Structure 1
Amino acid sequence: MPQPRGFVCARRADGSVVITHHGRAAATLRGARAEKFLAEAASGDPQLVMARWTGAYRFGNERAAREHPRNRSGRTRGR
């Protein structure tokens, strides 16, 4: 599975943490959740931790399915 990239986190003066992905806000964590996130990010791969906390990641099979000929017709489903 490719490693997630493009995540940046910034701690604000009020103690909250803002996670951005390619310049767009993905999550804002406050209080105990912010502290737990910072501890986890310090102990592991920060990019992977941020991807997991924001939900902005795909599993390997979802990436593979996107490239399947049946799914490459150019149209999008859902949204």
Structure 2
Amino acid sequence: MPRPDGFSYRRFGDGRIEIVHRGRAAATLRGDRAEKFLAAVESGDAQLVMARWTGSYKFGNERAARSHPRHQGGRR
């Protein structure tokens, strides 16, 4: 699985945090969520944390799931 990259974040004076991915806003956090996000970024891999918080995180099983028999037939 490739390592996530291209993430950054901006802090605003009103306590809001905007997570940016390759120059585009990906998520905006406020209040308790913003505080929890900052704690997570400071304690772990910042790129991975930001990818998870924005939902842009691949779990590595997408390719294997594509070939599963359940996905071969089409819609029921």
Identity %: 68
- Counterpart of 2:38 in structure 1 is 38
Q: Provide the alpha-carbon RMSD of the alignment.
A: 1.4
Aligned residues, how many? 65
In structure 1, runs of 5+ residues without a counterpart are 69-79
In structure 2, runs of 5+ residues without a counterpart are 68-76
Q: TM-score, normalised by structure 1?
A: 0.76
C-alpha distance in structure 2 between counterparts of 1:10 and 1:46, whole Å = 13
Q: Deviations over 1:3-28 (max 9, x none)?
A: 10000111101111000111111000
Q: TM-score, normalised by structure 2?
A: 0.78
C-alpha distance in structure 2 between counterparts of 1:46 and 1:9, whole Å = 10
Moved over 4 A (4+): none
1:29-68 maps to which residues of 2 (within 5 A)?
29-62=29-62, 64=63
- Name the SS for the 2:33 alignment partner: helix
